[in-house]
A and B are shown apart, each in its own frame.
Chain A
């Protein structure tokens, strides 16, 4: 036993000495660099919207060789992101400099809804806001609905037989559904599904009457002419859907966006935070990311540092208010 360990250690040490020396000499004067593979936690499951974006970011970094150590994606969807948040919180003490995470709006809602997790998102290190995804109200083409007035008329007539498919209970889609129910006097029935892609399919297969999908989720069906966007939950019209007015234009002052941000573990050193901020700024400015943003009509400028933290705090308050209104807190 002793022999094998010694040999193993010996190998590592010899290899380490030579490589370590050269790398130390070359990087000693330069800013902070990751020393080991960077854990790239994804707060959602494989194949979903957040996962796709995370893998695109990883690909851009790898393709351009911008990071000296690889980003290794790890999906932690458990507990609507609770598992991911606990994981990052746990890294605060052990190794905060090599763990970053792609987040969405469950970053606000999960700690609010599960206070026993003792997660304070204000302690997390702001790295970069890469985009804000938009939401639209969608119906099937065969329903004959052309605008929000038609929609309201039909949905009112159907009462609780009108099925709105969305992602899990008390997540983004239900916040929007509740808004529609409240402001148009509707009584739509909300049916939760696992992810946005499944939701989009429910509409295309006419198993649901309407959805509030992101553009990327409905894109294929929209292009094939199966589904129609009626209105957008944005500030201004979305350029790829010029015919869909915003709810603001329709007299309802309601804007709701989904953040696509990168956060670091709590307690990350300033040097490491600066490194990741610079890295993701490069990713943000890369032609691939810009192209992706344009095609999917993503909004939201690049935010970082204290600006990003301020944005989180505002959004957290908004979500708290919305959840309180729904009686979920």
Chain B
């Protein structure tokens, strides 16, 4: 936990500096008769972020914040395993939306999670994996006319559009 606290604070400090640098593309000073320039708000707030990070680092050296005193690991093996399994699942699902669209990615993710992480029966898994895209299609695409991305599977939906839209 101690190491994570310091690493995070340093990374966030670097990010703050990036934000300050990026904000400085617009005027960050006080324009006479006009008040702060376009980048001032974000520049000075990013400076506040940087200041807080430094404060956090000082607290780390003084060991005055709970995470900087804790000797527990930031993530134990259970947490890391779950985080990797679940996190990568969600990431892959979003990535697949680009290729297979929502209606291809959703069932794959649900099968992965419910069957392989949750260890539910195939019946339960398939029921959810099938119901989810159908409900999403009728609720969003048909009823609300919010057209979900279809990726390369779009050609399959052309006839469905003819019927339902």
| Interface residues of A, Cβ cutoff 8 Å to B | 1, 3-5, 7-9, 12-13, 15-20, 23, 35-37, 39, 69-70, 72, 160
Tell whether, in the assembled complex, residue B145 and residue A15 are in contact, meaning their CB atoms are under 8 Å apart.
Answer: no
A–B complex contacts, Cβ < 8 Å, 6 sampled: A8-B133, A12-B157, A15-B159, A20-B159, A36-B147, A160-B33
Is chain A's interface secondary structure helix, strand, loop, or mixed overall? helix
Which of chain B's residues has its CB closest to A14's CB? B159
- Contact string against A for B residues 91-118, beta-carbon threshold 8 Å, 1 for contact and 0 otherwise: 0000000000001100110010000000
Q: Which residues of A contact B161 (CB under 8 A)?
A: 35-37, 69
Tell whether, in the assembled complex, residue A12 and residue B159 are in contact, meaning their CB atoms are under 8 Å apart.
Answer: yes
Distance in angstroms between the alpha carbons of A194 and B129 in the assembled complex: 44
Tell whether, in the assembled complex, residue A15 and residue B163 are in contact, meaning their CB atoms are under 8 Å apart.
Answer: yes
- Contact string against A for B residues 110-149, beta-carbon threshold 8 Å, 1 for contact and 0 otherwise: 0100000000000000100110010000000000011100
Tell whether, in the assembled complex, residue A12 and residue B156 are in contact, meaning their CB atoms are under 8 Å apart.
Answer: yes
Q: Which residues of A contact B104 (CB under 8 A)?
A: 5
| Interface residues of B, Cβ cutoff 8 Å to A | 33, 103-104, 107-108, 111, 126, 129-130, 133, 145-147, 154, 156-163, 165
Q: How many A-B residue pairs have CB under 8 A?
A: 60
Tell whether, in the assembled complex, residue B159 and residue A36 are in contact, meaning their CB atoms are under 8 Å apart.
Answer: no
Tell whether, in the assembled complex, residue B165 and residue A70 are in contact, meaning their CB atoms are under 8 Å apart.
Answer: yes
Tell whether, in the assembled complex, residue B111 and residue A16 are in contact, meaning their CB atoms are under 8 Å apart.
Answer: no
Tell whether, in the assembled complex, residue A72 and residue B147 are in contact, meaning their CB atoms are under 8 Å apart.
Answer: yes
The residue from B154, B156, B162 contacting A23, defined by CB atoms under 8 A apart: B162
Least distance between A263 CB and chain B CB atoms (Å):
20
Q: Which residues of B contact A160 (CB under 8 A)?
A: 33
Q: Which residues of A contact B156 (CB under 8 A)?
A: 9, 12-13, 16
Least distance between A72 CB and chain B CB atoms (Å):
5
Least distance between A194 CB and chain B CB atoms (Å):
15
Least distance between B6 CB and chain A CB atoms (Å):
37
Least distance between B125 CB and chain A CB atoms (Å):
8
Q: Which residues of B contact A39 (CB under 8 A)?
A: 147
Distance in angstroms between the alpha carbons of A9 and B104 in the assembled complex: 10
Distance in angstroms between the alpha carbons of A26 and B94 in the assembled complex: 38
Least distance between B126 CB and chain A CB atoms (Å):
5
Given contacts A17-B159, A37-B145, A37-B147, 20 further A-B contacts (CB under 8 A): A3-B126, A4-B111, A4-B129, A4-B130, A5-B104, A12-B156, A15-B160, A15-B163, A16-B158, A16-B159, A16-B160, A19-B160, A19-B163, A23-B162, A35-B158, A35-B161, A69-B161, A70-B145, A72-B145, A72-B146
Tell whether, in the assembled complex, residue B133 and residue A36 are in contact, meaning their CB atoms are under 8 Å apart.
Answer: no
Least distance between A159 CB and chain B CB atoms (Å):
12
Tell whether, in the assembled complex, residue A4 and residue B107 are in contact, meaning their CB atoms are under 8 Å apart.
Answer: yes
The residue from A4, A19, A70 contacting B159, defined by CB atoms under 8 A apart: A19
Distance in angstroms between the alpha carbons of A37 and B33 in the assembled complex: 50
